[in-house]
């Protein structure tokens, strides 16, 4: 038994199992029927006999596509929107048979479900529709006894439909193969073997294409049907089914068209011009356009429900006429920029609405970044600053632009750091308030080593622009006053001596230096020491 078509059935949440009392087939029961619900095996509700072998019939409600067309049913794919119907399967000789289902509006008889068709190809340039909706997805399911319609891609007359325009699904099989759209002379370099292109021109009046690919023209319009064929290959022939006896037909007159446009013109079309118009080439290859004259009017634009701020321009509201919309600056158009009055008497779309341009809202969750002005409507700004000690990268002011984006990215704030200060030679850093990194406001202090004097500031601070308040100091060597030499004096007499300073030693009366020092006096060295200890003045009698 094949239950495969049950797989597309969406069974209601609770399965109702009912035993058909007294009709049990005592010899052989059936196994669990193995229903799948959305692809998952369904087990019977608890409390209900799971022993299927004692059941001869299972009834259950199911949502499934009706075998007969259901009016106003929008869904293409069977869905839980489909009406609920009672179905049953029967146990016959150990096998489940069915299901049979009651027609939702039928006489209560149980009938087999017939298979749906799967559309497994969408040929190029062919437009297939089901219930007036264009089929866009491969593997769309069409229920039994439903039809799809086929037409060629627009502009009409540029492809020829080879095959029927209506296909019927009958128990999983299409009434005929999916038709193909054959390119016409416009696409084939005017080869004689292709059907002629038929171009439609409406120099005055209006026209539109209906959902079956037919041309619908407003009465009183002027219509040209141009059959594209190379004149040197011979003259095509126009034929028609409308009631009119004759139409003006012949090669176009203009220099650039006269060799390839065989034109049929209808001036001030009237209702009796409705019919099909066929252009046949000398080789007998034809292409057809169907024409319907209809004085359709859509709702006038001003009477429509128009959004505030919406501007429109429309030449009228007749079949084929278009209304154009726009919004003032600071608003954007949501919806179509233009709508056309369709042969159905409806506009091709609802009119659009004007929506105030808004940029994505900004919320700052970074304590370093401060938003000081904010409005995210068109033309307004968001202005930022950074917390003290931080500097901004990016723009501090960003503007909401017409396309609902901000002119620049939200800026970021980074900590301002001063460079590690240079420690002076022969000096040390005695205090650093933030040794790892020198943030704004941090202070470092220096001192100089022994026999060195600090030149500059002993402490410097990291400033808001990332520089130190002062350059680090430097340590300059100096020699200490060496003390009074015994029995003598030194010149000059200072607390500190700079490197290179020389001492002149004079002895008291009666004392002399053991060695004269005029030639090489004690000198203050670059490391702050004296070149040699002060000599002593000794009694001249001891020399």
Ligand X SMILES: *[C@@H]1O[C@H](CO)[C@@H](O)[C@H](O)[C@H]1NC(C)=O
Residues that bind ligand X (CB under 6 A): 13, 37-38, 67-69, 120, 138-139, 145, 147, 168, 170, 175, 189, 239, 278, 280, 286, 336-338, 375, 377, 380, 463, 465, 467, 525, 527, 529
Nearer to ligand X, 527 or 539 (CB): 527
Give me the numbers of helices (H) and strands (E) for the chain, helices first please: 0, 48
| Residue 125 vs residues 104, 150, 276, 368: alpha-carbon distances, Å | 38, 10, 22, 59
Q: How far is the CB of 5 from ligand X (least distance, A)?
A: 14
Q: DSSP for 440-489, please give it.
A: TT-EEEEEE-TTEEEES-SEEEB-TTSSBSSPPPEEEE-EEP--PPTTEE
| CB 89, CB 95: distance < 8 Å | no
Q: How far is the CB of 467 from ligand X (least distance, A)?
A: 5
Q: How far is the CB of 518 from ligand X (least distance, A)?
A: 22
3-class SS at 271? helix
Number of neighbouring beta carbons within 10 Å of residue 393 = 10
Q: How far is the CB of 286 from ligand X (least distance, A)?
A: 4
Q: How far is the CB of 490 from ligand X (least distance, A)?
A: 20
Query: 501 Cβ partners below 8 Å, 6+ apart?
Result: 479, 492, 494, 523, 524
| CB 89, CB 97: distance < 8 Å | yes
Nearer to ligand X, 149 or 280 (CB): 280
Q: How far is the CB of 411 from ligand X (least distance, A)?
A: 20
What does the DSSP 8-state code read for residue 507? E
Q: How far apart, in whole angstroms, are the C-alpha atoms of residue 289 and residue 238?
A: 11
Closest CA relative to residue 44, chosen from 6, 7, 16: 16
Q: How far is the CB of 491 from ligand X (least distance, A)?
A: 23
Number of neighbouring beta carbons within 10 Å of residue 328 = 9
Q: How far is the CB of 470 from ligand X (least distance, A)?
A: 10
Burial of 82 (0-12, 13-18, 19+ CB in 10 A): buried
Nearer to ligand X, 343 or 528 (CB): 528
Nearer to ligand X, 199 or 357 (CB): 357
Nearer to ligand X, 419 or 510 (CB): 419
Q: Return left, alpha or beta for 136; rule: phi > 0 is left, psi -120 to 50 is alpha, else beta.
A: alpha
Q: Is the dihedral of CA 9, 15, 21, 25 positive or negative?
A: positive
Backbone angles phi, psi at 294, to 5 degrees: -150, 135
Q: How far apart, in whole angstroms, are the C-alpha atoms of residue 176 and residue 181?
A: 15
| CB 291, CB 241: distance < 8 Å | no
Q: How far is the CB of 321 from ligand X (least distance, A)?
A: 11
Q: How far is the CB of 131 from ligand X (least distance, A)?
A: 12
Q: How far is the CB of 120 from ligand X (least distance, A)?
A: 6
Nearer to ligand X, 119 or 513 (CB): 119
Nearer to ligand X, 168 or 517 (CB): 168
Q: How far is the CB of 30 from ligand X (least distance, A)?
A: 24
Nearer to ligand X, 145 or 211 (CB): 145
Q: Return left, alpha or beta for 58; rule: phi > 0 is left, psi -120 to 50 is alpha, else beta.
A: beta
- Beta strand pairing call for 261-266 and 311-314: unpaired
Q: How far is the CB of 461 from ligand X (least distance, A)?
A: 10
Nearer to ligand X, 120 or 365 (CB): 120
| CB 482, CB 439: distance < 8 Å | no
Q: How far apart, in whole angstroms, are the C-alpha atoms of residue 9 and residue 89?
A: 14
My answer on whether omega of the bond before 142 falls inside 30° of 0, hence cis, is no
Nearer to ligand X, 27 or 40 (CB): 40
Q: How far apart, in whole angstroms, are the C-alpha atoms of residue 189 and residue 197?
A: 11
Nearer to ligand X, 267 or 532 (CB): 532
Nearer to ligand X, 49 or 527 (CB): 527
Nearer to ligand X, 86 or 237 (CB): 237
| CB 85, CB 67: distance < 8 Å | no
């Amino acid at each position: 038994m094949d239950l495969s078509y049950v797989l597309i059935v969406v069974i209601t949440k609770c399965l109702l199992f009912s035993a058909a009392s007294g009709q049990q087939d005592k010899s052989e029961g059936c196994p669990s029927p193995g229903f799948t619900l959305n692809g998952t095996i369904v087990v019977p509700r608890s409390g209900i006999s799971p022993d299927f072998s004692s059941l001869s019939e299972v009834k259950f409600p199911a949502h499934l596509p009706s075998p007969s067309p259901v009016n106003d049913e929008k869904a293409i794919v069977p869905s839980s929107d489909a009406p609920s119907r009672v179905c049953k399967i029967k146990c016959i000789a150990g096998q489940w048979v069915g299901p049979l289902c009651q027609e939702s509006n039928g006489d209560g008889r149980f009938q087999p479900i017939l298979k749906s068709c799967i559309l497994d190809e969408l040929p190029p340039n062919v437009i297939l529709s089901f219930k007036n909706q264009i089929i866009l997805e491969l593997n769309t399911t069409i229920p039994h006894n439903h039809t799809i319609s086929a037409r060629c891609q627009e502009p009409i007359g540029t492809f020829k439909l080879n095959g029927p325009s209506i296909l019927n699904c009958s128990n999983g099989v299409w009434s005929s193969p999916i038709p193909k759209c054959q390119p016409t002379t416009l696409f084939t370099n005017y080869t004689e073997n292709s059907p002629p292109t038929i171009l439609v021109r409406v120099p005055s009046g209006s026209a539109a294409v209906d959902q079956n690919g037919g041309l619908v023209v407003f009465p009183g319009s002027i219509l040209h049907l141009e059959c594209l064929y190379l004149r040197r290959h011979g003259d095509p022939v126009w034929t028609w089914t409308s009631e009119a006896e004759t139409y003006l037909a012949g090669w176009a007159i203009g220099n650039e068209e006269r060799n390839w446009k065989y034109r049929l013109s209808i001036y001030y079309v009237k209702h009796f011009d409705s019919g099909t118009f066929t252009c046949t080439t000398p080789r007998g290859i034809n292409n057809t356009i169907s024409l319907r004259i209809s004085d359709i009017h859509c709702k006038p634009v001003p009477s429509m429900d128009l959004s505030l701020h919406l501007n429109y321009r429309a030449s009228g509201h007749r079949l084929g006429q278009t209304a154009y919309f726009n919004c003032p600056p600071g608003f954007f158009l949501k919806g179509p920029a233009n709508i056309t009055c369709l042969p159905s008497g409806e506009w091709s779309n609802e009119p659009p609405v004007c929506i105030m341009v808004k940029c994505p809202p900004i919320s700052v969750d970074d304590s370093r970044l401060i938003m000081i002005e904010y409005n995210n409507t068109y033309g307004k700004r968001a202005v930022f600053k950074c917390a003290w000690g931080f500097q901004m990268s990016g723009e501090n002011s960003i503007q909401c632009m017409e396309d609902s984006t901000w002119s620049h990215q939200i800026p970021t704030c980074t900590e301002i750091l001063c460079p590690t200060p240079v420690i002076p030679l022969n000096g040390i850093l005695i205090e650093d308030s933030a040794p790892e990194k020198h943030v704004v406001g941090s202070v470092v202090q220096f001192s100089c080593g022994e026999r060195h004097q600090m030149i500059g500031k002993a402490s410097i601070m990291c400033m808001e622009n990332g520089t130190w308040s002062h350059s680090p100091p430097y340590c300059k060597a100096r020699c200490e006053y060496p003390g009074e030499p015994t029995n003598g004096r030194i010149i000059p007499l200072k607390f500190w001596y700079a490197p290179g300073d020389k001492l002149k030693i004079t002895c008291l009366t009666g004392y002399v230096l053991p060695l004269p020092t005029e030639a090489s006096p004690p000198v203050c060295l670059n490391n702050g020491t004296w070149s040699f200890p002060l000599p002593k003045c000794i009694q001249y009698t001891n020399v």
